[in-house]
Chain A
């Protein structure tokens, strides 16, 4: 059984990356400085990994509300960078449902892809929904 969540699509602009730098304190020039980024292997500024993860957080909150904030678990690996000023697609599906005395544990496969469907980050999000 696989239940897919409605995906989230966004355009990650320079302005969003700058705003995220301010809330996270991560001003690494790879995210913000064109001249610096050109000299790196990526050749372009890239989006903060934790900003990508925030979209998985949003996906899980949309589907599980406060159960996600109360007892959500996230294990994510970073696979590829997203260049600034690019489209991001966040997807997820329920892979497993286990009922026990504490409630129902949902185990979900989650990922963020670029517009060419390359996986940027992926992993497992699980959440216990108490009855």
Chain B
């Protein structure tokens, strides 16, 4: 079976709680060699990176896949050390030749309000 083939478009793939802790933020900044980065708010890319980690635990991306695009939109502040709810959807899937073009959208909610969105595009080799 090809990657995510069992899911319909706009079907929810995953839901989880995520928290950008001070420790995670320090590890992220260190791994990316970001200096002078002090904020009480989560940055767009650390948010997308941590949610990717949760996603990959459940849906490992097949070898040979290529990440071709990424969008992240912050709609409000996301304070560090606060839990937010993440909902992941399959937003696009199309088979072209021997590959499947897949878009995975994540919505980040705090207190029932959408505070950010992200969408990654992958090209996954067909089995």
Contact = CB atoms under 8 A, between A and B. Distances in A.
Given A50-B49, A61-B34, 14 more contacts: A16-B31, A20-B32, A23-B28, A25-B56, A40-B64, A58-B32, A61-B39, A66-B41, A69-B78, A70-B74, A70-B76, A74-B44, A76-B70, A78-B69
A10 B53 CA distance: 24
A24 B37 CA distance: 19
Contacts of A34: none
A78 B68 contact: yes
Contacts, number: 119
A92 to B, nearest CB: 14
Given A24-B52, A26-B52, A74 B70 contact: yes
Interface residues of B, number: 42
A75 B72 CA distance: 7
Given A50-B52, A50-B70, A58-B32, A25 B57 contact: yes
Consensus secondary structure, chain B interface: mixed
A70 B77 contact: yes
Interface in A18-37: 19-20, 22-26, 28-30, 36
Contacts of A22: 27, 31
B71 interface: yes
Interface in B39-98: 39, 41-46, 48-50, 52-54, 56-57, 61, 63-78
Interface string A71-91: 111111110000000000000
